[in-house]
Amino acid sequence: MSLRLGDIAPDFSADTTQGHINFHEWLGTSWGLLFSHPADFTPVCTTELGRTALLKGEFEKRNVKVIAVSVDDLESHNRWVPDINEVNNTEVNFPIIADENRHVATLYDMIHPNASEKATVRSVFIIGPDKKIKLTLTYPASTGRNFNEILRVIDSLQLTADYQVATPADWKEGEDVIVTPAVPNDQLEGKFPKGVTFVKPYLRVTPQPNK
């Protein structure tokens, strides 16, 4: 059964390139980014995991723990990591789950038989500190992920978790945001001291509250 937004992210225990973990315990109070790659020693994946390592500082400042998974075993992961480091001029600094028995892939519905009977699709799960799934993305095996978009979404999710706002189309960090309909007009001044502009009675915008 596929997971939906708001569902609790399934817990699991697994061996990784950084030791054995219990997923929920490993996450702690952090946000989480769990993403799958179809197989080790594949070209697109090599660029993706390298890009993830290069963005270590960006994830850390957002309090996001990153973890990858594929259906290859730990020995394969450990042989592949030096290639990732060399190609991307970096050091892989996050765990890669060994999932040769497909336990995690099955829990998170990462294998789509009509696309591939044995390889995981490029799934992305962003998980909040409450262990609930906040976002899912699924890419075909041939298309590398846009990590700038993933960071943008995390910024939006974290902003809306702390304030009663939503983010408009193509929003980027620092731009105006939308006041959610749940906030009545008589509370706007107290909640949004920077001011609110009425574009339409139902569309109210305000400067990003935490900037």
The conformation of residue 180, written as its DSSP 8-state character, comes to P
Q: How far apart are CA 16 and CA 160, in angstroms?
A: 32
Catalytic-labelled residue, pool 45, 53, 66, 121 = 45
Q: How far apart are CA 24 and CA 32, in angstroms?
A: 10
- Give start and end residues of each alpha helix (H) in 130-205: 147-162, 188-191
Do residues 3 and 36 make contact, with C-beta atoms less than 8 angstroms apart?
no
Our separate counts of H helices and E strands in the chain read 7, 11
Is 45 catalytic? The answer is yes
CA 151 to the chain's CA centroid: 8
Q: Which H or E run includes 9?
A: none
In a 3-state reduction of DSSP, which class is residue 171? Answer: coil
Catalytic sites, residue numbers? 45
